[in-house]
């Protein structure tokens, strides 16, 4: 029987420990910033017990104006801190929260009427002198050395995770405040628009009722006026819809949106136009394409505009292909058509407010020059982008990319 080599055994145990620590770090990285902070902290507490053999673990969360608060624990109840032996640990925990320095001690304590040696670590979780909280972990009658280097890696990861979570919340709050400010301006525009829309709608309705009585010599002018007023009315309607979406701006991140289901519904709405133009439509969404965090109304506005453009500006018996997949850029959605294409000199202009391509009203007289402007504006809320590649006479590809 071969003799055991203590050095090899030690190296193998270290390798196993590092491998398990890596699994924990990967698990931490997969936590979404919007998930409960307690879910993240529980992963760290469980790691102290499973990786390093500690028997009990506590996280004290630092709250401004309140100090350290018992937040989460494993194998120990909050009542334990009221026991006489724990007062020594509490003073070390408070001191570590001020000095931001680790503490490690092995002290005799009386627990359940018997003396034990308690090895404990007090580990402040901080970054750039900002304290998030303190880990306390302990084990009874432990004589082996602790792997401080790996424990240090775990605590540093906890600090980084809480820092990134805080930055996410700050950025998100700033975005919402900026959007609220923009919405205030939109609300003023919406109110003005609403006051114009009613009289204009009545004027158009009146023109519809008298158009048969218009003298033939005035018919062309009458028709041109009616068309122009209709375009103004559509522009007002889109502006009002923008205001309605903006009113719920706080909800832009709060739902899981199924892109596959949304595209199916949009195509269903345009079924009549698709059949009328004899278009072939193909949807290719990768099986693992995820749900996207967003607002359904905003996403519907974005993709309705892109898909309806692919329909209205396509050729007779043309083709539309919609792709959704993930690559190094992020979550990608492509809308490809075989339409008339966009001349190169006009491509930088199509996302400008109220811009319409020359002659486009012949293909779609319902356009107002706001659609692609809103697409780009709304995608910017999510840090997403839209771009176009087009060859005149062959078709266009609109590509939307959401960041990972």
192 and 136 co-located in one domain: no
pLDDT given at position 124: 95
**Residue 313 lies in domain:** 252-404
CB-CB contact of 179 with 249 (8 Å): yes
| pTM reported for the whole predicted model | 0.48
Which of the residue ranges 65-79, 199-213, 242-256, 281-295 would you say has the lowest mean pLDDT? 242-256
The token pair at 47 is: 């790691």
For residue 163, tell me if it sits in a domain: no
How many separate domains does the chain show? 3
Instruction: Give the length of the chain.
Output: 404
- Rounded CA-CA distance 28/50 in Å is 15
What kind and span of H or E run contains 231? helix 216-247
pLDDT given at position 56: 95
Burial 173-183 (b: 16+ CB within 10 A, else e): eebbeebeeeb
4 pLDDT more than 60 = no
Which of the residue ranges 199-208, 232-241, 380-389 would you say has the lowest mean pLDDT? 232-241
pLDDT given at position 363: 47
Sequence-distant (6+) residues with CB within 8 A of 246 are 179, 182, 183, 186, 187
Query: E-assigned strands of 209-301?
Result: 255-257, 280-285, 292-294
380 and 266 co-located in one domain: yes
- Rounded CA-CA distance 345/399 in Å is 19
232 pLDDT more than 90 = no
pLDDT tens digit string along 158-167? 998 888 888 8
pLDDT band at 306 (very low <50, low <70, confident <90, very high): very high
- Rounded CA-CA distance 332/320 in Å is 16
pLDDT given at position 318: 93
What is the arithmetic mean of pLDDT over 78-86? Answer: 87
262 and 402 co-located in one domain: yes
33 and 123 co-located in one domain: yes
Tell which wins on pLDDT, 331 or 371. Answer: 331
Tell which wins on pLDDT, 203 or 355. Answer: 203
Sequence-distant (6+) residues with CB within 8 A of 285 are 259, 260, 263, 322, 323, 324, 325
404 and 268 co-located in one domain: yes
For residue 164, tell me if it sits in a domain: no
121 and 178 co-located in one domain: no
pLDDT tens digit string along 339-359? 888 888 888 888 887 666 655
For residue 296, tell me if it sits in a domain: yes
The token pair at 323 is: 């792709």
256 and 404 co-located in one domain: yes
218 and 257 co-located in one domain: no
CB-CB contact of 322 with 348 (8 Å): no
Query: In this structure, what CATH number is given to the domain that contains residue 73?
Result: 3.30.450.40
For residue 385, tell me if it sits in a domain: yes
pLDDT band at 1 (very low <50, low <70, confident <90, very high): very low
Domain boundary among 183, 217, 249: 249
pLDDT given at position 359: 55
- Rounded CA-CA distance 332/259 in Å is 11
For residue 166, tell me if it sits in a domain: no
pLDDT given at position 104: 92
Can you state the angle between helices 37-52 and 6-29, rounded to 10 degrees? 170
Query: In this structure, what CATH number is given to the domain that contains residue 287?
Result: 3.30.565.10
What is the arithmetic mean of pLDDT over 254-272? Answer: 89
For residue 158, tell me if it sits in a domain: no
189 and 67 co-located in one domain: no
pLDDT tens digit string along 132-157? 999 999 999 887 788 888 899 999 99
196 and 268 co-located in one domain: no
pLDDT band at 10 (very low <50, low <70, confident <90, very high): low
257 and 235 co-located in one domain: no
pLDDT given at position 284: 94
Domain boundary among 201, 216, 249: 249
For residue 155, tell me if it sits in a domain: no
For residue 161, tell me if it sits in a domain: no
256 and 346 co-located in one domain: yes
198 pLDDT more than 70 = yes
CB-CB contact of 40 with 59 (8 Å): no
- The β-bridge relationship of strands 292-294 and 330-337 is unpaired
Domain boundary among 226, 249, 272: 249
Q: Check residue 345 and report its DSSP letter.
A: G
């Amino acid at each position: 029987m071969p003799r055991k080599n203590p050095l090899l055994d030690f190296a193998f145990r270290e390798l196993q420990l590092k491998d398990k620590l890596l699994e924990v770090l990967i698990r931490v990285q997969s936590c979404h910033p919007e998930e409960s902070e307690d879910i993240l902290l529980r992963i760290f507490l469980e790691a102290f017990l499973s990786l390093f053999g500690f028997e009990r673990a506590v996280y004290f969360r630092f709250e401004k104006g309140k100090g350290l608060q018992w937040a989460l624990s494993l194998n120990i109840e909050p009542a334990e801190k009221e026991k006489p032996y724990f007062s020594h640990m509490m003073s070390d925990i408070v001191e570590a929260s001020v000095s931001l320095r680790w503490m490690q001690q092995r002290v005799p304590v009386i627990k359940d009427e018997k003396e034990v040696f308690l090895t404990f670590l007090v580990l402040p979780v901080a970054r750039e002198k900002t304290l998030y909280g303190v880990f306390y972990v302990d084990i009874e009658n432990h004589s082996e050395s602790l792997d401080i280097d790996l424990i240090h890696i775990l605590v540093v990861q906890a600090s980084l995770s809480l820092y990134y979570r805080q930055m996410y919340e700050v950025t998100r709050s700033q975005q919402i405040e900026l959007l609220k400010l923009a919405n205030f301006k939109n609300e003023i525009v919406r109110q003005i628009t609403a006051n114009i829309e009613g009289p204009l709608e009545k004027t158009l309705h009146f023109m519809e009722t008298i158009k048969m009585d218009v003298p033939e010599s005035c018919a062309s002018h009458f028709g041109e006026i009616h068309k122009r007023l209709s375009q103004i009315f559509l522009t007002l309607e889109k502006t009002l819809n923008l205001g309605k979406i903006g009113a719920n701006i706080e909800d832009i991140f709060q739902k899981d949106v199924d892109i596959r289901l949304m595209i199916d519904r949009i195509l269903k709405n345009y079924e009549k136009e698709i059949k009328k133009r004899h278009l072939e439509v193909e949807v290719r969404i990768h099986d693992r394409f995820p749900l996207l965090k967003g607002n359904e109304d905003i996403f519907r506005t974005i993709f309705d505009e892109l898909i309806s453009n692919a329909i209205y500006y396509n050729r007779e018996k043309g083709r539309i292909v919609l792709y959704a997949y993930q690559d190094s850029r992020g979550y990608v959605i492509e809308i490809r058509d075989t339409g008339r294409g966009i001349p190169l000199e006009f491509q930088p202009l199509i996302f400008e407010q109220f811009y319409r391509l020359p002659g486009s009203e012949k293909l779609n007289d319902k356009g107002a020059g706001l659609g692609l402007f809103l697409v780009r504006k709304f995608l910017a809320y999510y840090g997403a982008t839209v771009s176009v590649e087009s060859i005149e006479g062959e078709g266009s590809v609109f590509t939307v990319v959401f960041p990972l």
